[in-house]
Each structure stands twice: as structure tokens, then as C-alpha cells.
Amino acid sequence: MERFQKLLEDPGKYAREWKSRTGGKVLGYFCHYFPEEIAYAAGVLPVRILAKPDTEGIAQRYLYGASFCSYCWNLLAAGLKGEYDYIDGLGHSQCCECINGSYSSWRLHAPPEMDYFIGMPSYLDGVGTAPYLRSEMAACKEAMEKWTGKTITDKALDHAIEVYNTSRGLMKQVYQYRRSENPPVSGAEALEMVLSSQVMDKEEHNKLLADALKKLPKRKVTCGGPRLMLIGSELNDTGLVRLIESLGATIVMDRLCGGSSYIWNNVIPNNDRLLALAYAYLDKPRCPVKDEEYRHRASDIMYLALDYGVEGMIYNIQRFCTPHQQDRPALFKEFQKNLISVHEIEHDGTVPAGEYKTRIEAFVDTLKK
């Protein structure tokens, strides 16, 4: 588990070593709806932009708005401060307006060699969404070919899809272990495994995952206490999860963009590779931005909660995160109907351990009783 943790301590170290070793290009992306497989098929290393707290408030000078969440400012600050000077390109897909603003400001004030925006539809259930998204995938493919000077063949796409499907399959096995009565892997460790896969060549990361899976059955780590599920806004580190689990509970499941939502569904092979990718990305577990019409998220999260024997929910929300605040009423109504207790943690990107420790401890004690 230390290998995954060390990867996240300095994500840039691996990317720089990879560039030196391969001579390839690195593309940073914001949202998990960006089609990494296309970039990977062009020999590019896609890495997730992970935000750290912008304690200096640099980003607020370039992205003005009192109601922006700190996560968006943190993303932009990482680019303005040169923390991602090793990326050659920047990729983004249609997301919430605040993160869209971070992307636009980054490409304006710290322009990379190449940047590309893919128009991921916000309404995913429409009749024409698959053909439309397939056309967007085709345009993205052309942009990657032009940038790298390499033709993306069907063989290269097949290899990329296979590598990414293998990564998702291995991570799903880790998540299956979390269903057991005493999971051999903690919630923090599982999240670190997923996040580290987003800053490393998937083919190399798959070897680490396969090795870890061989050892998990023999691992004697006892994760006890109430079984919790973590949902809500983006989390780029495991500090909150470790705090919760240090108080006698276990996070057995999550529905986070950088967690289970990232690895949950595979690309089903199709002679039209781009259409296969379009269907797979449309079928991803919905984030609130993509779920405004029918609200699939409440039933999806509730199904997972019942399947994993969840006793309580931790609703993690970034202050001023409009999509997740809009999502809240439908979710809480579903939890109330199914008698699932919820504890809400609202923060600005930093977790004051002293204050939250008391509140979380009280919630865990209530569930124990």
C-alpha cells in the first residue's frame, strides 16, 4: 500500500521520470469524462490534475467569483504556480461552470503546448447523445494525431481500451473485497489505489494492482466499526477518509468522481471503437452535472449502500459546490426512506481535524448504539 501512497505524495515525480524514459508527452486533465483512451492510444500519458489548497489565494485574482468553490481555485492555482510544468497539454470535458472557468483561465494565463476541450453532453439520456459524442471523440482523435504527429490506428485504440479495462477490472476486485465483513483494505487505501492510477501509466499501475491483489487475501488488517459510504464533492487526497477511519468506522464504499465512479464500467468492444468509447462514457455513474433531468444518482447510491451493507453516509461537500448542493434534496429523501443515517461535512478544501473529529466521533458512536 505504501507504493500507491508514495505515488500520490509527489505525482509529478513519476510523470517527469516517464517523460525522461519514453520521450513522450504528458496531458493533464480535470474531469473523468475526458476520454483518456484516445490520448493513451497516441502514446500520451494522461494524468489527473490533483488540487492542493491555495493558501496564498493566487487563483482568486484570475478567477473572480465569491461563489466559486475552493476546489476550482485550487486547480487553477496549481497551474499558475507551475506545479504542473511537466505537462505538455491540457484536456477538459464539459463539467460544472466553475471548473470550466478554471480550465479557461489556465489556458489563458499559463498556456500549455496544446489544449483541448471535448463537448461532453450534460443530458446523457437523449436519443442523439451517442452519435454526437462519437463525433466529439473523432474530433479529439484528430487533435491528438495532429499534436503528436502519430496516427491513432484501430490496433492502438484496442490496446488502450484493453489496458484501461484491465485497470478498471482490477480495481473492481479491490472494491469487491470491501464488501466482506472485515475488509482487508481500508477506504483510504482503496481511494489511494484509484487516485494513483490516474497519475501513472495504466499498464505499469496494473502490475502493482495485480501484485497487491495476490496479497490482499493474506492480509490481516481488521477494519471494524460501523460501515460507512462516502459520497459528494471531489476529493484529491485521503485525509478526510483517514480521519473518519481513525475514529472507529470503515469506509466500505464511495461514489466519488475520483473513486468508484472512475473505475465502475468498462468499454464494451465494438468494431466502431469511437462509438464504443462514446457509449462507455455515457454509461458512467452520473455526477450531479450529468443527472439534472432524471436524478439517477439517488437510486444508484442507495443500491450500492444496500449491496455493501452500509449503515451510515458521510456527505462530503465543498462549500459553494452548486451541483452537489442541488443533488442534496433527492439524495437525503432517498436515505430517509431507507432509514440510512447521514452526516454532512461541508468544507473549503481543508479539513480542520479538531472540529470535525468531535462531530464524526459523535456520529460513529450513534451508529454503534
Query: Domain locations in the chain?
Result: 14-149
Strand, coil or helix: 136: helix
Write down the mean pLDDT value for the chain. 92
pLDDT at 190 over 80: yes
pLDDT for position 111: 95
pLDDT for position 179: 92
Calpha distance 235→239 (Å, rounded): 9
Query: Which three cell numbers mark 162?
Result: 484493453
pLDDT at 149 over 90: yes
CATH code, residues 14-149: 3.40.50.11890
Query: Which three cell numbers mark 135?
Result: 463525433
Calpha distance 248→24 (Å, rounded): 45
Least confident residue range of 64-78, 225-239, 279-293: 64-78
pLDDT in tens, 78-118: 999 999 999 999 999 998 888 999 999 999 999 999 999 99
Query: Which three cell numbers mark 128?
Result: 442523439
pLDDT for position 65: 67
223 burial (CB, 10 Å; 0-12 / 13-18 / 19+) is buried
pLDDT in tens, 47-68: 999 988 887 888 888 887 667 8
Residue 352 pLDDT class (50, 70, 90 cuts): low
pLDDT at 278 over 90: yes
